[in-house]
Structure 1
Amino acid sequence: MPECSLAVDIGASSGKMLIGYIEKGKLNLKEIHRFENKIIKKNQHFCWDLQALFSEILTGIHASRNQGFTPKSIGIDTWAVDFVLLDEQDRLLTDAVSYRDPRTDGMMEEIFQKISKERLYLETGIQFQKFNTIYQLYYLKKHYPEILDRAKSFLMIPDYLNYLLTGIKANEYTNATSTQLVNAFTKKWDKDLLDQLRINKEIFQEILPPKSILGNLKPELSNEIGFDMNVLLPATHDTGSAVASVPESADTIYISSGTWSLIGVENNFPICVTKALDYNFTNEGGVDYRFRFLKNTMGLWMIQEVKRIYNNRYTFAELAAMANQVSGFYSQVNVDDDRFLKPENMVQEIQNYCEETNQPIPNTPEQVAKCVFDSLAESYQMAINQIEEIYEKEFKRINVIGGGSQNEMLNQLIADTTGKEVLAGPSEATAIGNLITQLMALGQIQTLDEARQMVKNSFEMKAFTSKNKTEGLK
């Protein structure tokens, strides 16, 4: 068996663990373990169950051994912005409260009274979202200052899971940038910003870049599973890992399509210009200190919730097919309206929005699904127009990566709406990006360009062209 690595990819609704290894110049994947991730209500807040997630990681490590793999390394990626605080005995002071919790309502506006929006953007380059870590910490500072006073360590979700594996505390770069507390140019914690907010600078750990070797498993864990592994840092922000795997980067806009949709391009420097601020684009960190200039917009979360409200009677594929059969009905919603972040009833919220905006109200599952997909495609078109305006150039194609790339109906709709060629795949972009970063750290791949060429050679992509453009040529 070739030397292999293990990727732990945890999203907002599920997690999976995949073995990756190089054979005959291609990257091979094998799924080892899949598990659910869901928000739980705890102490009046919506939280993540970190102990359950860590237990699933251990289950996946055992599964890899049982299936004949002894990975040389393991790397974890998750969503961004959320964190825990530890006390001086390294005990949890806080629950892992989810970004979907409403505790940050109004916090962003209060910070703007202390620090101008322009200064925040020019220093950090990060888009304004009410759930960013800076606003979560400010909530604690305002309502529970004693917790911040007792805190000795700040760890983001993958940092904490890595700590449970190794006993070593560090903050990984790509996820740290999502806090809106890292200076985009120095790539370090912005101490002046923290001082202004009166948040203790000492709780933050050293920022380590992707490809760093964090350390080995705790002895008790390696003894339990029967072998040792290096714990490596991929881009622990899942979008950072996904973008690392984008095989078509020249003249290409990517859409990382999952629970969220991340629409952007890759740069070697941050773009902190007024127009980017006005359009609320972000400059998140990437592998090799590249920047992900992107807009974070609502993604398949909406259709996930629609599916749930209809008691899971339909699969995602069935909802897409049903929507595709609807004719003569069109309504759209602003997918980035806060009302869709965590409503009790997504279908009702969509219907209410359409009624309030004097649009036809979707009353059947197929109409609701069509409204969601049309709205997503329109939001993608708007973000793409803004990117092209800022860059003063037209991009030729769109590369849809991640789980959403398997939704052929949506891919075709994106092609029809934008008039651009759409390349779909790879669907496991995040795990692939995680793995190629580990393989670079281990010296099996030399550069990111080499890694991307390997991705291109290893995984098929499907092309979609605009039917409108095709019809116009006839």
Structure 2
Amino acid sequence: MKHCFFAVDLGATSGRTILGSFSDKGLELEELNRFPNRLIEVGGHFYWDIYALYQSVIDGLKLAATKDVQITSIGIDTWGVDFVCIGKDGHLLRQPYSYRDPHTVGAPEALFSRVSRAQVYEVTGIQVMNFNSLFQLDTLRRNGDSALAAADKILFMPDALSYMLTGEMVTEYTIASTAQLVNAKTRRLARELLATVGLSESHFGRFVYPGEKVGMLTKEVQKMTGLGEVPVIAVAGHDTASAVAAVPAADSRFAYLSSGTWSLMGVETEAPVINKETEELNFTNEGGVGGTIRLLKNICGMWLLERCRAEWGETSYPELIAEAETAEPFRSLINPDDALFANPENMEKTICRYCADTHQPVPETRGQVVRCIFESLALRYRQVLESLCSLSPFPIETLHVIGGGSRNELLNRFTASAIGMPVVAGPSEATAIGNIMLQAMAAGEAADIPSMRQLVRKSVPLTTYQPQDTDSWDIAYIHFKNILS
């Protein structure tokens, strides 16, 4: 019977469960189920439906049980920062808030009135974003939130789902590091920051690192799914950490761009890089696998297009990309990270308003809107990469684009030309692959990260894009920076 690893990969707009196995051909993946991850808006707040996500995971496990395979282990990765409050009786106290909820607008400033911004950054090395768990928790505390007041434990999203499957509460390092609550140097929870929001280490589960065992499926889950006593492994619970583990790099002289709803650009370092420059540029030091730190920057990604698509009746990506390809180059540009685009009621209208306000031609067709998004993202990638090159302890020679965005040929071409550097695209399923590889390491089927990456290079088709028409992109970059200023 074939031995497989079961990966749960949850993004901010959709999730899926995947079976991974090893053969003479390398790594083989089989998607079991794919499902939406919808925000619930009620009472002026945005929530995640963790029960729907849990049921979708159970559905995937049921499908796995019908196949002629042996499930070696289960691993769960999700987006960062969001968490669930658990009561003393072990029950979830309410649906978790989404990081897109507006209640944290202005939250950093409220916290920094009591503890300095520089002090928080010095301890955590994490970029200040209003939705970081630190600010979410402080906002809930200031608002007298009943769930937080009654919470015995706080579990980050992948850990909450692991708890629902096993009954065991853990706090996995990579997901906790996104919270701005982990000391970047000790790689443990920062007691002094927990105290500022009225919490202590006892409010969190057992602290674990990628590859450690969470627990076994409960009898209830075994009965529901038809599976036996399968262990759940704490993989890199943060989806970007799992994705970066699967970067098919030949050496260390690379930057990565994990491209999905969010774009995350960074490099792997052996130690955190925390100094005046990284603080001013708002770079982050998140926990990675194998003792690494991910020095990176969050950039708005395909969220811009996903929201437009929802307004356009879910038109297919190929159709929109074809329309963008024939649109006029550099007609109008936006700052993808402007606060206007965080969660507007109508993304297309907001893009048009931004162009009007910055005295540019307003997009008149879908193709012009999509081209505006793609060119603006490529130029923003260049801007962030320039900063990264100055911060990196080694020269950067290649950009590896991983995740769903690696399939976007037009954006990859634009990116290579904008940054003047080769772009290697793939794998698109980097997060699930990293999740599975870490399970394989825990099971003794893979030795280390470099050998994992070598296997990925052999198993997955990759596409390399070379820079083209760099003069035009250089001129566009000057225009882009002028718009931002």
TM-score (norm 1): 0.96
SS class of match (2:310): helix
Equivalent-residue separation in structure 2 for 1:233 and 1:201 (angstroms): 19
Q: Partner letter of residue 282 of structure 2? A: N
Question: What's 1:457 paired with?
Answer: 458
Equivalent-residue separation in structure 2 for 1:69 and 1:36 (angstroms): 26
Say if 2:2 and 2:70, in contact at 8 Å, map to a contact too: no
Count, aligned residues: 471
Equivalent residues in 2 for 1:6-155, closer than 5 Å: 6-24=6-24, 26-144=26-144, 146-155=146-155
Equivalent-residue separation in structure 2 for 1:464 and 1:87 (angstroms): 51
Equivalent-residue separation in structure 2 for 1:170 and 1:321 (angstroms): 46
1:144 offset after TM fit, Å? 1.4
Question: What's 1:380 paired with?
Answer: 381
Question: What's 1:194 paired with?
Answer: 194
Question: What's 1:432 paired with?
Answer: 433
1:254 is aligned to 2:267: no
Equivalent-residue separation in structure 2 for 1:259 and 1:196 (angstroms): 31
Equivalent residues in 2 for 1:381-396, closer than 5 Å: 381-391=382-392, 394-396=395-397
SS class of match (1:304): helix
Q: 1:394 to 1:267 in 2, by over 3 A?
A: closer
1:409 offset after TM fit, Å? 0.3
Say if 1:329 and 1:367, in contact at 8 Å, map to a contact too: no
1:323 offset after TM fit, Å? 0.9
Q: What's the CA shift string for 1:90-123, capped at 9, x where partnerless?
A: 1222321100010101110111111111111111
Q: Pairwise CA RMSD of aligned residues?
A: 1.7
Q: Where does the alignment leave 5 or more consecutive residues of structure 2 unmatched?
A: 474-485
Say if 1:158 and 1:236, in contact at 8 Å, map to a contact too: yes
Q: What's the CA shift string for 1:252-309, capped at 9, x where partnerless?
A: 1110000000000111111011111111110100112211110011000100111111
1:393 offset after TM fit, Å? 5.8
Say if 1:170 and 1:205, in contact at 8 Å, map to a contact too: yes
Q: 1:247 to 1:273 in 2, by over 3 A?
A: same
Equivalent-residue separation in structure 1 for 2:220 and 2:146 (angstroms): 34
1:146 offset after TM fit, Å? 4.8
Equivalent-residue separation in structure 2 for 1:208 and 1:25 (angstroms): 33
Equivalent-residue separation in structure 2 for 1:471 and 1:185 (angstroms): 43
SS class of match (2:290): helix
Equivalent residues in 2 for 1:461-472, closer than 5 Å: 461-468=462-469
Equivalent-residue separation in structure 1 for 2:207 and 2:168 (angstroms): 13
Say if 2:2 and 2:68, in contact at 8 Å, map to a contact too: no
1:200 offset after TM fit, Å? 4.2
Say if 2:191 and 2:200, in contact at 8 Å, map to a contact too: no
1:315 offset after TM fit, Å? 1.1
Q: Partner letter of residue 302 of structure 1? A: L
Question: What's 1:410 paired with?
Answer: 411
1:227 offset after TM fit, Å? 2.4
Say if 1:246 and 1:399, in contact at 8 Å, map to a contact too: yes
Q: Select 1:271's aligned residue among 262, 270, 273.
A: 273
SS class of match (1:349): helix
Question: What's 2:482 paired with?
Answer: none
Say if 2:20 and 2:30, in contact at 8 Å, map to a contact too: yes
SS class of match (1:439): helix
Say if 2:331 and 2:372, in contact at 8 Å, map to a contact too: yes
Of 449-458 and 256-265, the range deviating more from structure 2: 449-458
Q: What's the CA shift string for 1:72-93, capped at 9, x where partnerless?
A: 1110101000001111111222
Equivalent-residue separation in structure 1 for 2:101 and 2:470 (angstroms): 43
Say if 1:195 and 1:201, in contact at 8 Å, map to a contact too: no
Q: 1:317 to 1:25 in 2, by over 3 A?
A: closer
Question: What's 2:349 paired with?
Answer: 348
Say if 1:173 and 1:207, in contact at 8 Å, map to a contact too: yes
Q: Partner letter of residue 286 of structure 2? A: E
SS class of match (2:69): coil
Say if 1:255 and 1:263, in contact at 8 Å, map to a contact too: yes
Question: What's 1:371 paired with?
Answer: 372
SS class of match (1:97): coil
Equivalent-residue separation in structure 2 for 1:152 and 1:38 (angstroms): 27
Q: Where does the alignment leave 5 or more consecutive residues of structure 1 unmatched?
A: none
Equivalent residues in 2 for 1:288-367, closer than 5 Å: 288-312=290-314, 314-327=315-328, 329-367=330-368
Q: Partner letter of residue 62 of structure 2? A: H
Equivalent-residue separation in structure 2 for 1:393 and 1:52 (angstroms): 44
Equivalent-residue separation in structure 2 for 1:134 and 1:76 (angstroms): 23
Q: 1:223 to 1:392 in 2, by over 3 A?
A: closer
Question: What's 1:442 paired with?
Answer: 443
1:324 offset after TM fit, Å? 1.2
Equivalent-residue separation in structure 2 for 1:310 and 1:19 (angstroms): 33
Equivalent-residue separation in structure 2 for 1:350 and 1:334 (angstroms): 10
SS class of match (1:3): strand
Say if 1:176 and 1:207, in contact at 8 Å, map to a contact too: no
Equivalent-residue separation in structure 2 for 1:237 and 1:294 (angstroms): 14
Q: 1:299 to 1:436 in 2, by over 3 A?
A: same
TM-score (norm 2): 0.94
Equivalent-residue separation in structure 1 for 2:322 and 2:386 (angstroms): 28
Equivalent-residue separation in structure 2 for 1:471 and 1:102 (angstroms): 39
Say if 2:417 and 2:469, in contact at 8 Å, map to a contact too: yes
Q: Partner letter of residue 95 of structure 2? A: D
Equivalent-residue separation in structure 2 for 1:365 and 1:147 (angstroms): 43
Q: Partner letter of residue 168 of structure 1? A: E
Say if 1:25 and 1:454, in contact at 8 Å, map to a contact too: no
Equivalent-residue separation in structure 1 for 2:427 and 2:77 (angstroms): 17
Q: 1:359 to 1:435 in 2, by over 3 A?
A: same
